[in-house]
């Protein structure tokens, strides 16, 4: 007996099949307002009728500067159900087979829609080292998307931060493949449910991006070639992808870059051999925006580009013209016709999971026309977003206990620097506009916490009366904010005039020093403060910047990243001692702009190599200070034939509860490859009550713990300054 997908595929024309693998529209242009709701625009109706339906629609709810959608023009939270229903009704009416459309939305760190949940950026999520809370936040974002009628979330997770010059560093879960893999698994598990259990109920299908090695692009230049061998490709850049497959991810997005000259979206070894043959992946592969059309430089024309991408394993295009040529190509080429059937089947299989096949009534596939309880930009998951922001802050230095500040001793507080009173700078790239007044700046948050103090806020200059302050906060770093008058490339990346943006897609930097003479600004702030008055630097940034000069002028440095709408309140709480700084760096901070890239897991040590920069690392992966120091002792390694147990004892000697992060780093010797200087083998974030002691253990497969099995093999383990070395157990016989 034929399955529903088999029967549908047999009944479809070539034109209809091609329509299922095309995703050409900008969703925000697909609807227009009417007196009592929405109707499909003429251009969208023409596209729907052209294919006898619609495979997928990108960005129906997207709101940002590129789409031009804002609170005065875009689809509001309470309107999402009606908008989705209007679109689906038009698609079903044009489809001879009553097949609905997959609605696809950007969700790199929350939903990029008016009223959508906004989380801290991925670099901040990584600095929490908190799998449970990341999983919970992903679940809630997935539930929001599902309630809006969305089926697919495009989620940044696979890019590993290997070069801080890359503008999209903020989208990475740090530079460790292991940390990125664990967080990728947590996100997929949260949005789709364990074993895909939430698909069709309160979850969405995750398309993980970008596959693969985009973080390795030469010079940190977005979308350019990645030069690396198969070992590093698999160990570093495919580790998050394998975690995504293991978690059941239903989609991957092929990246813009090439690997050793082969474009990812035309790479059969990657998209078919690796994903499907080697790992049994059964979902869809989507191309990045206009990536297929860009193959013309390789193939010579759009027809060749379409053929190359389809035969490599691309199932769904994004805005490309090339895939519109598939009906003609399929008629002329049996190989293309067979590949089109395969791609169409994969899209239909995904639609079947969401009940989008053979729909008799529009109500079967549209969300209930009840207002989503969003209310404001962060109302769906305030607890999740707030908790992640608080746990992501990393205390880099704290000379003479300058932090926390004593609120009762502050009568005048100076908050200066370019981002002192800026809310969008806290949010990162790929975010919707927040409702006015829905989130405070750092200066405003400190003012709210210190109602009796005078708060001197200045973004552009050092106030003349800075010398009267009891303490100074200088907010430095960068921003990925996309202003509505910015110029954009054809794929939505910032292009040309970027406004103040110093990060985000399309904003790669040759120099990762603090932009805009901020080192000098910090020095001037130090000069204007009275002697003995503490100066604290708060670093708002989406990439590793060089902070060497800053350290010379300040008493403490708090790395804040892009912590999201609740970030200012979290920063204020840490500065004033109401909360502990418990984050740990997920990336290396360089000491000089010319030493990059430098990573914890490089195979060779860069220390002492440069005559002019003896120590290229300012702060390593895993670095972070605490107000209330957790004691770690008694590192033990128990080596078994199949696994190695790593154990430490921890104690909170303080008077209040706290949390701490315990990374397990290793240097593995043995085998036939130069060992990495350091690898992350495991980690744990734990909570400890006041005075509590506990034993923390990890069971690590021996095959992962040791690089080889010979007597010459050994692994040196480090946990928070404690070290131990072990060798594999000899095999019997």
447 and 554 fall within a common domain: yes
Measured in residues, the chain has a length of 733
Question: What does the pLDDT read at residue 368?
Answer: 56
292 and 419 fall within a common domain: no
Question: What does the pLDDT read at residue 75?
Answer: 95
Number of independent structural domains in the chain: 3
Q: Output the domain CATH number for residue 112.
A: 3.20.20.300
476 and 552 fall within a common domain: yes
Reference 283, options 366, 338, 365, 204; nearest CA is 204
477 and 346 fall within a common domain: no
Question: What does the pLDDT read at residue 380?
Answer: 43
Give me the residue label for tokens 């329509």: 19
DSSP string covering 555-574: SEEEE-----TTHHHHHHHH
Question: What does the pLDDT read at residue 486?
Answer: 80
Beta 679-688 vs 693-701: how paired, if at all? unpaired
528 and 567 fall within a common domain: yes
C-alpha to C-alpha distances, 558 to 21, 156, 476, 627, nearest whole angstrom: 47, 25, 10, 12
Is position 375 within any domain? no
Query: CB-hemisphere CA count at 13 Å for 535?
Result: 25
Is position 591 within any domain? yes
Question: What does the pLDDT read at residue 371?
Answer: 47
Give me the residue label for tokens 């006898």: 52
| DSSP character at residue 367 | -
645 and 672 fall within a common domain: yes
Dist. CA 623–CA 127, nearest whole Å: 10
Dist. CA 380–CA 137, nearest whole Å: 10
Query: Based on the number of CB atoms within 10 Å of its own CB, is 148 exposed (0-12), middle (13-18) or buried (19 or more)?
Result: buried
Those residues of the chain that have pLDDT short of 50 are 369-371, 374-380, 498, 733
Q: How is residue 319 written in tokens? A: 């805005």
220 and 160 fall within a common domain: yes
179 and 275 fall within a common domain: yes
Is position 731 within any domain? no
473 and 343 fall within a common domain: no
- The residue segments making up the domain with residue 481 are 393-619
Query: Based on the number of CB atoms within 10 Å of its own CB, is 267 exposed (0-12), middle (13-18) or buried (19 or more)?
Result: buried
Residues 6+ apart with CB under 8 A from 441: 419, 420, 421, 422, 423, 426, 568
Dist. CA 639–CA 705, nearest whole Å: 10
3-state DSSP call for residue 409? helix
Q: What is the pLDDT of residues 575-621, one digit of tens each?
A: 999 999 999 999 999 999 999 999 999 999 999 999 899 999 999 99
Is position 446 within any domain? yes
48 and 172 fall within a common domain: yes
Q: Output the domain CATH number for residue 505.
A: 3.40.50.1700
Q: How is residue 511 written in tokens? A: 């120099």
Dist. CA 645–CA 637, nearest whole Å: 6
Is position 422 within any domain? yes
Last residue of a domain, one of 619, 642, 675: 619
Reference 200, options 356, 8, 316; nearest CA is 356
Q: Output the domain CATH number for residue 710.
A: 2.60.40.10
Dist. CA 389–CA 517, nearest whole Å: 28
Dist. CA 538–CA 416, nearest whole Å: 10
Question: What does the pLDDT read at residue 729?
Answer: 82
Is position 406 within any domain? yes
Question: What does the pLDDT read at residue 503?
Answer: 92
Question: What does the pLDDT read at residue 359?
Answer: 85
Is position 2 within any domain? no
Is position 500 within any domain? yes
Q: What is the pLDDT of residues 392-443, one digit of tens each?
A: 999 999 999 999 999 999 999 999 999 999 999 999 999 999 988 889 999 9
Last residue of a domain, one of 569, 594, 619: 619
298 and 259 fall within a common domain: yes
Q: Give the other-Cβ count within 10 Å of 117's Cβ.
A: 27
Last residue of a domain, one of 325, 349, 364: 364
104 and 198 fall within a common domain: yes
Dist. CA 727–CA 719, nearest whole Å: 17
Q: At 547, phi and psi to the nearest 5?
A: -115, 15
- Whole-prediction pTM: 0.95
């Amino acid at each position: 007996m034929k399955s529903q997908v088999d029967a549908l595929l047999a009944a479809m024309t070539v034109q209809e099949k091609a329509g299922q693998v095309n995703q050409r529209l900008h969703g925000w242009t697909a609807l227009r307002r009417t007196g009592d709701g929405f109707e499909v625009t003429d251009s969208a109706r023409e596209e729907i009728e052209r294919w006898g339906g619609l495979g997928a629609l990108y960005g129906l709810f997207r709101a940002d500067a590129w789409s031009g959608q804002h609170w005065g023009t875009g689809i509001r939270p309470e309107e999402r159900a009606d908008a989705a229903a209007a679109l689906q009704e038009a698609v079903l009416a044009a489809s001879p087979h009553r097949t609905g459309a997959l609605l696809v939305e950007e969700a790199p760190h929350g939903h990029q829609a008016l009223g959508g949940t906004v989380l801290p950026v991925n670099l901040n999520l990584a600095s929490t080292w908190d799998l449970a809370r990341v999983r919970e936040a992903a679940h809630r974002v997935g539930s929001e998307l599902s309630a809006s009628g969305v089926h697919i979330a495009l989620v940044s997770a696979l890019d590993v931060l290997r070069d801080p010059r890359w503008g999209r560093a903020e989208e990475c879960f740090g530079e460790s493949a292991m940390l990125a893999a664990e967080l990728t698994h947590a996100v997929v598990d949260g949005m789709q449910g364990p074993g895909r259990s939430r698909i069709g109920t309160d979850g969405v299908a995750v398309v993980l991006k970008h596959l693969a090695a985009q973080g390795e692009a030469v010079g940190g230049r977005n979308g350019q070639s990645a030069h690396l061998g198969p070992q590093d490709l698999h160990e570093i850049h495919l580790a998050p992808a394998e975690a995504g497959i293991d978690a059941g991810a239903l989609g991957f997005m092929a990246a813009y870059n090439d690997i050793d000259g082969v474009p990812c979206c035309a790479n059969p070894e990657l998209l078919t051999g690796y994903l499907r043959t080697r790992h049994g992946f059964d979902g869809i592969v989507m191309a990045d925006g206009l990536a297929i059309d860009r193959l013309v430089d390789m193939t010579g024309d759009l027809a060749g580009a379409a053929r190359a991408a389809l035969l490599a394993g691309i199932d769904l295009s994004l805005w490309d013209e090339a895939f519109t040529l598939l009906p003609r190509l399929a008629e002329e080429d049996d190989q293309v016709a067979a590949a089109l059937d395969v791609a169409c089947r994969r899209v239909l299989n995904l639609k079947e999971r969401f009940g989008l096949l053979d729909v008799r009534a529009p109500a079967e596939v549209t969300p209930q026309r009840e207002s989503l309880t969003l209310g404001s930009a962060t109302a769906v998951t305030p607890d999740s977003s707030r908790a992640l922001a608080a746990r992501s802050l990393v205390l880099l230095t704290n000379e003479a206990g300058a932090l926390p500040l004593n609120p009762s001793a502050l009568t005048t507080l100076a908050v200066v620097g370019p981002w002192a009173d800026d809310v969008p700078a806290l949010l990162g790239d790929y975010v919707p506009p927040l409702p006015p007044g829905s989130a405070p700046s750092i200066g405003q948050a400190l003012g709210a916490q210190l109602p009796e103090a005078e708060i001197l806020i200045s973004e552009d200059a050092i106030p003349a009366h800075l010398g009267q302050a009891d303490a100074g906060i200088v907010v430095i770093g960068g921003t990925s904010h996309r202003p509505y008058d910015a110029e954009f490339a054809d794929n939505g990346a910032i292009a040309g005039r970027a406004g103040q943006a110093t990060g985000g897609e399309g904003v790669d930097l040759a120099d990762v020093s603090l932009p805009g003479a901020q080192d000098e600004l910090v020095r001037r702030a130090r000069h204007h403060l009275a002697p003995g008055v503490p100066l604290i630097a708060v670093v708002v940034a989406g990439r590793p910047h060089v902070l060497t000069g800053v350290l010379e002028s300040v008493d403490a440095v708090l790395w804040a990243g892009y912590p999201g709408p609740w970030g200012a309140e979290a920063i204020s709480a840490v500065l004033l001692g109401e909360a502990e700084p418990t984050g740990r760096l997920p990336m290396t901070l360089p000491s000089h702009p010319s030493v990059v890239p430098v990573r914890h897991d490089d195979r060779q040590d860069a220390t002492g190599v440069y005559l002019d920069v003896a120590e290229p690392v300012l702060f390593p992966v895993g670095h972070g200070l605490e107000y209330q120091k957790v004691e770690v002792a008694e590192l033990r390694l128990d080596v078994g034939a199949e696994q190695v147990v790593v154990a430490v004892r921890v104690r909170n000697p303080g008077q209040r509860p706290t949390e701490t992060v315990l990374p397990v780093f290793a240097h593995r010797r043995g085998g036939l490859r130069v060992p990495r200087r350091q690898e992350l083998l495991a980690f744990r974030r734990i909570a400890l009550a006041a005075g509590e002691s506990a034993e923390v253990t990890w069971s690590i497969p021996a095959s992962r713990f040791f690089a080889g099995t010979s007597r010459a093999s050994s692994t040196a383990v480090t946990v928070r300054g404690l070290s131990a070395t072990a060798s594999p157990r000899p095999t019997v016989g």
